[in-house]
Amino acid sequence: MKRIGHWWGRIAGPLLIWMLIPVGVAGGTAAEIDRYREARERMVRTQLEARGIDDRRTLQAMAEVPRHRFVSAGLAAKAYDDGPLPIGYGQTISQPYIVALMTELARPGPGRRMLEVGTGSGYQAAVLAEAGAEVYTLEIIPQLAESAAKRLSALGYDRVRVRTGDGYFGWNEHAPFDAIIVTAAAEFIPPPLVEQLKDGGRMIIPVGSPFFVQTLMLVEKRDGETRTSSLLPVRFVPFRRTP
Ligand code: SAH
């Protein structure tokens, strides 16, 4: 037994290293992947679970999606911090807690069709997709739409549909949606979005003026009626109407 253990140890060591090399080539070194995985798991525990996020799919998706790949290389080390991060063009990727909260409220899962307004980096869209949803996302800044589409497909989220356009009008062709997530603060709830919500559907949208306190609102549509409730004060970049 002793001799077999020794023999196996000599083979297994180099074999393990050899097996890790392709991973290293594909997405940074193996050590780097491990470091971020740990940071991500810590983020899930301390920022999400500790604040009451408890939907299993949401937590799993947040632990899986590599947030550091959605920001510039210079910001990767801050990707799992408890705050928003700049993504260029004056826009930001929301704090992990807010992304998780909006995801949980959208009740993600297989076969659920969702519209996101404000693709930005593509991070929120990736989290929804990772949680099982069929995702359509609209972005008003063409350069951001293009880079997010490339990033999403490079990371394997190639089923997410990204389009440049004013999200005010939604995406009628693929409506109705089980959930709509708006990631820019609107002064009022765009009526076309309410229309594109399924019966029983939910919309999560920050409402308020751009430079004051905004409120995260939940809009629920049932039997043709819409019910709106305020959830918590938030700060989002403004919802724009022209590219
Ligand atoms: N959800 C993004 C963060 C988005 S920041 C992420 O996970 O990275 C908000 C985004 O909404 C910005 O990229 C902004 O350009 C976009 N936006 C603002 N108004 C919009 C509109 N009317 N239609 C579509 N996108 C809009």
Q: Residue 1: CB partners within 8 Å, gap ≥ 6?
A: none
- The pTM of the whole model exceeds 0.95: no
| CA distance readout (Å), 219 to 40, 73, 170, 201, 236 | 30, 37, 15, 8, 18
Cβ(182) – ligand 1 distance below 6 Å: no
Of 13-27, 129-143, 202-216, which one has max mean pLDDT?
A: 129-143
| Angle, CA of 207, 90 and 79, to the nearest 5° | 90
Identify the burial level of 113 via C-beta atoms within 10 angstroms of its C-beta, where 0-12 means exposed, 13-18 middle and 19 or more buried. middle
Q: Could you say which of 72, 94, 153, 209 is catalytic? A: 94
- Per-residue model confidence as pLDDT tens digits over 31-77: 555 579 999 999 999 999 999 999 999 999 999 999 999 999 999 99
Residue to mutate, 163, 181, 240, ligand 1, most ligand atoms under 8 Å from C-beta: 240
φ, ψ dihedrals at 114, nearest 5° = -130, 145
Active site residue 230: no
Cβ(210) – ligand 1 distance below 6 Å: no
> Which pLDDT does position 16 carry in this prediction?
46
Mean pLDDT on 189-198: 98
> Which pLDDT does position 30 carry in this prediction?
59
Q: How far is CA 145 from the centre of its chain?
A: 14
For residue 21, what are its two tokens?
Answer: 């090399």
